[in-house]
Amino acid sequence: MNIREWALLIFSILGQLAAGMLLVLLIVRAGVVRKVGVEKAAQLTNPPLYMVLLIMILALLASLFHLGKLAHVIGAVPNLGTSWLSREVVAAVAFVVVLAVYALLLWRKIGSEGLQSIIGWITALIGLFLVYCTGVVYLLPAQPAWNTLATPVTFFVTALLLGVLGAATALMLNYAKLQKKDAALQEFVKNTLQWIAVAAIILLGIEFLVLPIYLAYLSTQGTAALQTLNLLVGSYGATLALRLLLVFAGAGVLAAYLYLNASIAGQEKSLATLAYSAFALVLISEILGRFLFYATHFRIGV
């Protein structure tokens, strides 16, 4: 892979992280509002939501490094009628713009919690549409390694897995800095971490289910797909094994510990450490997975 392909990897991973994190943070926020109060909801979830904006800005900046002729981007007419790549670009730009508006509303305390939450959920839908577009972009008939339902499914799983653990990390980073932590908030954060851990384990299960189906699919799709399969189990076998090991350690083992420890009183420090480590392992694993995605595709024909 060269710098232009790394740009795609960073864009797609960060874009999916942002879309997933936003969704999870909005669910968490709705929970705090209901169980603890609006003021605490802002304190707990605003800084993590700003982080989502930052991540998405980085994603868009990274995507620019993919292009050979940046000057032509200005004034380019999108080919929305037939090109999913065009739709993806428009979705990504729309996502970051609406996300910025949402962050501004939160930051300047403009509008009621209800209005803010409507804007937030609209933003989340745009984010999910972006993940969908990114998936469909790769459904090219000339690329059998990509041209399968496994591509969009994997992208959504990545978005949600990075989303739950990324949200847990951002929430715990922010929670550590909060001044007054009443019992209700403490209880809420622990419950949140518990369902996040359960979600991570379920998503891990889906990832482990999709992989063997995908490998079996490759074995039936002709020469180009067989080349991909040979690389995945051959030269890149160690990378694939490491990716699986890391995601199992992060979203499986550490998530299970996170779930168990969250049910014991007075374990907050260890909960934060567990959340950070799980996120770090899964992030590395997903980057390796995406690396394999770009490094092992072969075009049919010549």
Partner 1 sequence: MTKQLAFSVDIAKCTGCKACQIACKDKNNLPIGVRWRRVFQYEGGEWIKQDGQMIPGNVYAYTVSAACMHCENPICMDVCPAAAISKRADGIVLIDQDKCIGCRYCSWACPYGAPQFNEDLGVMTKCNMCVDLVDKGERPACVESCPYRAMDFGPLDELRQKHGIFAAPAPLPDSNLTRPSVVYRPNRVTKSSGDTSGKLKNLEEL
Scanning 53-61, 78-86, 100-108, 257-265 for contacts with partner 1 by CB under 8 A, the matching segment is: 78-86
The string of DSSP codes covering 91-134 is: HHHHHHHHHHHHHHHHHTT-S-HHHHHHHHHHHHHHHHHHHHHH
* Phi, psi (rounded to 5 degrees) for 139: -85, 70
Query: Does the footprint of partner 1 cover residue 77 (CB under 8 A)?
Result: yes
By beta-carbon proximity to partner 1, the closer residue of 69 and 180 is: 69
Task: Give the burial string for 254-264 (b: 16+ CB within 10 Å, else e).
Answer: bbbbbbebbee
DSSP 37: -
Answer yes or no: are the C-beta atoms of 210 and 150 closer than 8 Å.
Answer: yes
Q: Would you state the structure tokens that stand for residue 299, as one six-digit string?
A: 């075009």
Q: Would you count residue 89 as binding partner 1 (CB under 8 A)? A: yes
Within 10 angstroms of residue 3's Cβ, the number of other Cβ atoms is 8
Residue type at position 203: L
Interface positions, 49-68, toward partner 1 (CB under 8 A)? 66-68
Interacting residue with partner 1 among 100, 105, 125, 140 (CB under 8 A): 140
Instruction: Provide, rounded to whole angstroms, the least separation between the CB of residue 299 and partner 1.
Output: 6
Contact map string, positions 170 to 209, toward partner 1, x by CB under 8 A: ----------------------------------------
Within positions 255 to 274, which residues make up the interface with partner 1, using CB under 8 A?
Answer: none
Question: Residue numbers of the site for partner 1 (CB under 8 A)?
Answer: 4, 66-70, 72-73, 76-79, 82-86, 88-89, 137, 140-143, 222-223, 297, 299-302
